[in-house]
Structure formats: structure tokens, C-alpha cells
Amino acid sequence: MKIARLIFNPLQENTYVVWDDTLQAAIIDAGNMSERENNVLEKFIADNGLTPVVAINTHGHFDHLLGVAHVCERYGAEFALSSKDEFLLKNAVTSAELFGVRSGAMPEKIDVDLDGRESITFGDTTLQIISTPGHTPGHVALYEPQSKVLFTGDTLFRESIGRTDLPGGDYSWIMRSIIDKLLPLGDEVKIYPGHGEESNIGHESMYNPFIVEVLNDEINYRN
């Protein structure tokens, strides 16, 4: 599996283009919003001979959605998002305005509901869907076990975590998601977050202050 990171929109959101030898591609969290950014994405896709078949979203925040309608229209790709984040999709244009971002069209409907779904496939690649509520109720992480690659969206960043003060956010949920569902995947698993640089689970278990705090508290509690 090959991965490219493109950084789009004023919120510096990571859009990942993911593909394999079939040259079918998934666009994870398409955040491209201007003509220039659309061109950057289209040029990358054309230069690599890719066919995007699905736009997969880790969650329904507007900065991760800004390019989805364009990708779906331009390439005929399907749109995958948990229906638990549909309320965010419906409010995405207004949310963007509150952040001073004038968005274009948003996708009108979810083609593939990731809520309760185990995996999603494009080309020869299957991404496991891990429900990770907390940043949003419908947030998912996407895991490819052969490459040991994990797309964490806004749940887990390098040495930080996503906000939990936005509508539908919950701090105890995000920490349970990280500690019970992501850390057990193993130290060597590489993390591709929704903002900022890559990391891996081992680094985060040692140096992520939010994780370290909860792990220390749990040890104290047990003792």
C-alpha cells in the first residue's frame, strides 16, 4: 500500500491518497477547498495514474470534508462516513463559516455507512474500521494490518489528541478509544493523523502526555 500526504485548507488538514498495485485509490479526509488545491490533488492523481474509487472520512468535521464533493463528482467515487456523524455533515457549511472558511458544496448523502461496518475495500486493499468515538460520536480509525498503518483522523495526533469540546465530543470516550482500541494494535504500528506529522504507537505510549497521564492514573488506581 502506498500513501501520500497532501496538506490542505486553512486548518492544515492532512488528506491522504492511498493506493496499491491495482492503481485504485482511496482519498482519506479530502480537505482540498480551492481551485489551486483541487489542481494539486488532481495532478497527483493523474501523475500516478490513479483511479479514486472512494472518499473515506474518519469523521464529519468540515475541514476533513471540504474536498469530498469535488472528489466524488470528478471521479465518480463513493463517499464513506459513519452515519453517527451525519449531524456534522449537515452543519458543515455553517461550521466552516464560523471558522471563517467559505466552503463549496458538501456531499449530499453518505454512500457507505461506516457505523458498525468492519472493513472497506478498494483495489486489493482492505482497511479495517475501528470505531473511536470521542472527538466526534462517529469517528473511526482505519487500519491496514499488512503494512501496519493506522489512519487516526483527529483521535490521536503525534504527542497530542483531538479536541473534545466541540459538539458531540467527550474526553473520557476519546481516551478509552485510544487506550482500549488503538494502543493494543502494537508499538510498531505507524500512525497517520488528521493534522501534523506521522508517529507510531510505541512513541505515543511513551511521549503522548494525554496517554501517559491516563496510564499513570490507572496504575495508581489499581495500586
154 contacts Zn ion (rule: CB under 5 A): yes
Question: Taking Cα atoms as reference points, which of 148, 151, 157, 214 lies closest to residue 187?
Answer: 148
195 contacts Zn ion (rule: CB under 5 A): no
Span near Zn ion by CB under 5 A; candidates 29-37, 58-66, 85-93, 208-216: 58-66
Asked if 113 and 129 touch (Cβ cutoff 8 Å), the reply is no
Of residues 62 and 75, the one with the C-beta less far from Zn ion: 62
Span near Zn ion by CB under 5 A; candidates 61-69, 80-88, 108-116, 197-205: 61-69
- The phi, psi pair for 25, rounded to 5°, reads -130, 155
Span near Zn ion by CB under 5 A; candidates 46-54, 83-91, 122-130, 151-159: 151-159
139 contacts Zn ion (rule: CB under 5 A): no
Query: From the CB of 10, what's the least distance to Zn ion, in Å?
Result: 14
Of residues 24 and 155, the one with the C-beta less far from Zn ion: 155
Asked if 6 and 40 touch (Cβ cutoff 8 Å), the reply is yes
Span near Zn ion by CB under 5 A; candidates 44-52, 96-104, 107-115, 150-158: 150-158
Cα-based torsion angle of the residue sequence 150, 151, 155, 161 in order, rounded to the nearest 10 degrees:
80
| Angle of helix 35-47 versus helix 68-75 axis, rounded to 10 | 50
Query: From the CB of 79, what's the least distance to Zn ion, in Å?
Result: 17
Query: From the CB of 171, what's the least distance to Zn ion, in Å?
Result: 14
- The phi, psi pair for 121, rounded to 5°, reads -120, 140
Of residues 45 and 92, the one with the C-beta less far from Zn ion: 92
Of residues 43 and 90, the one with the C-beta less far from Zn ion: 90
Query: From the CB of 11, what's the least distance to Zn ion, in Å?
Result: 9
204 contacts Zn ion (rule: CB under 5 A): no
Cite the beta strand spans of the chain per DSSP E.
2-8, 13-19, 24-28, 51-56, 78-81, 112-113, 119-122, 125-131, 140-144, 149-153, 156-157, 160-161, 190-193, 199-200
61 contacts Zn ion (rule: CB under 5 A): yes
Residue 91, exposed/middle/buried by CB under 10 A (0-12, 13-18, 19+)? middle
Binding-site ranges for Zn ion (CB under 5 A): 61, 154
